Structure 1
């Protein structure tokens, strides 16, 4: 789901301590990369340096933006959720994500030309495994299971951020889950196309403009999609936005207080993280 859910908007949720998770973000990113390909000592050292630079930039430049956005979410909840307000915050969150994506490419792209042919083969095989996992999880399952996964993802997040869910909220989420268009097949086909293009880029990694090539692969170019694909994506966004706006407008007082407390705690965590920079 590409749209930002107002109720689930925050970027670090599962960990009990935002500061604990954030301060280990560089280590976690390195671990994720090394799950895809075995790096030699020199590559590991260079990766650590680039990730530390990325982390320092994010703490210095981006955390103030996150803090401001969290405060805006709280203000919207206190003053009443509206469609324009929600969409504005959604756009701001997407801008933050794209800023992080672009800066990540700037820092990490230097690693790719150093990969050996054996490492490239390992990386592509790991990515194929990820695609196969996506296929098994979202494509070949019965429709009833797909609907259940959709609604359970929203239920779990709602319970985390707002506490107990009302019957009306459950019914609204179920309605969305049963009628949401299937975008998983579309995304899977895009994954396969980007995998093929990434393999070609890696084959030319010694001479190609790797940064530009990677940037083109990380975000779907909707101008290249077929008309039916664009219609399905737009339908999916419209339905998702409508669900999240409805949920924001139909919180109980207790749920709103619970969510505002969660936001306040994370805002304070982010403020303290800024001061550690």
Structure 2
């Protein structure tokens, strides 16, 4: 975790030490509060995967995951409010350069409305195959048709990506000299704008994509996946649950996740 921020921000020693302490606290909270909930989700999904969940059920479970992620981001507010204002102009320029590098990759993989370009079809198929195993030719054609039926607007996604980047950089600048209370409030508002765009058109588009994903995934599991593939999905969920429960008892996870015990 910290080594990723170091790569992004080019941290100074005092910043690194402070962020390592904050990250250690975050990971302790995550292990105690969220890993049990994640294990319960995975256990519940095994039962759902054995049956034929509808789109509403899939969306409800996806919303549960999103709620956990939002809760996790909320736990970073105080740390970000403390350390974002310490970033120097040189560090912000370094951050912006790293974002520009990532933008090139985004354009290559996601910046095309044409399904035959970029990584949208391939990545979606890979995620399905991670749970269900290899898709046959008929299933691959079905998946292609499903993705083609969903209006994909890379122009809107790119505009939102740029807005978020500018928002984070500008907030870091604006936090300089602010009181801790003001900084916390601004970072909390920043996260809210990150999770849901303040642009009504983009927010509506994000909602539509979310609902479309629920519908085609429910249709896939119920109508397209074979009994053997559904059984494989259950087995994979069981394996993930075992891994999460093992992590609950692994006291060395915090340092490894932060990159304190070993860094690349």
TM-score of the superposed pair, with normalisation by structure 1: 0.79
Partner in structure 1 of residue 254 of structure 2: none
Superposed CA offset, 1:214-251 (max 9, x none): 333332444x3244x45533442332221100112132
- Cα RMSD (Å) of the superposition? 2.2
Asked if the contact 1:131–1:188 (Cα under 8 Å) also holds between the matched residues in 2, the reply is no
Q: Mark the runs of 5 or more structure 2 residues left unpaired by the alignment.
A: 252-264
Identify which of 125, 130, 135 aligns with 1:155: 125
**Residue matched to 2:262:** none
Once the two structures are overlaid, the 10-residue window that deviates more, 80-89 or 33-42, is: 80-89
Separation in structure 2 between the aligned mates of residue 249 and residue 81 of structure 1, nearest angstrom: 7
The answer to whether the 8 Å contact 1:37/1:119 transfers is: yes
TM-score (norm 2): 0.83
Give yes or no for contact 1:163–1:258 (8 Å, CA) kept in 2.
yes
Q: Matched residues in 2 for 1:113 and 1:125: separation?
A: 19
Answering whether residue 120 of structure 2 is matched by residue 117 of structure 1, we say no
Aligned pair 1:202/2:175, yes or no? no
Instruction: Give the direction of change, closer, same or farther, for the CA distance of 1:215–1:183 in structure 2 (3 Å limit).
Output: farther
Q: Report if aligned partners of 1:181, 1:232 keep a CA contact under 8 Å in 2.
A: no
Which residue is 2:61 aligned to?
A: 89
Q: How many residues align?
A: 245
Q: Is residue 263 from structure 1 mapped to residue 237 from structure 2 by the alignment?
A: yes
The equivalent residue for 2:145 is 175
> What residue number does 1:19 align with?
none
Higher RCO, Cα 8 Å, sep 6+: 2
1:127 to 1:214, Cα distance in 2 relative to 1, 3 A:
farther
1: distance between equivalents of 2:158 and 2:235?
A: 38
Shift of 1:127: 2.4
Q: Is the 8 A contact 2:175 2:183 kept in 1?
A: yes
Tell me the CA shift for residue 260 of structure 1: 1.2
2:216 maps to which residue?
A: 243
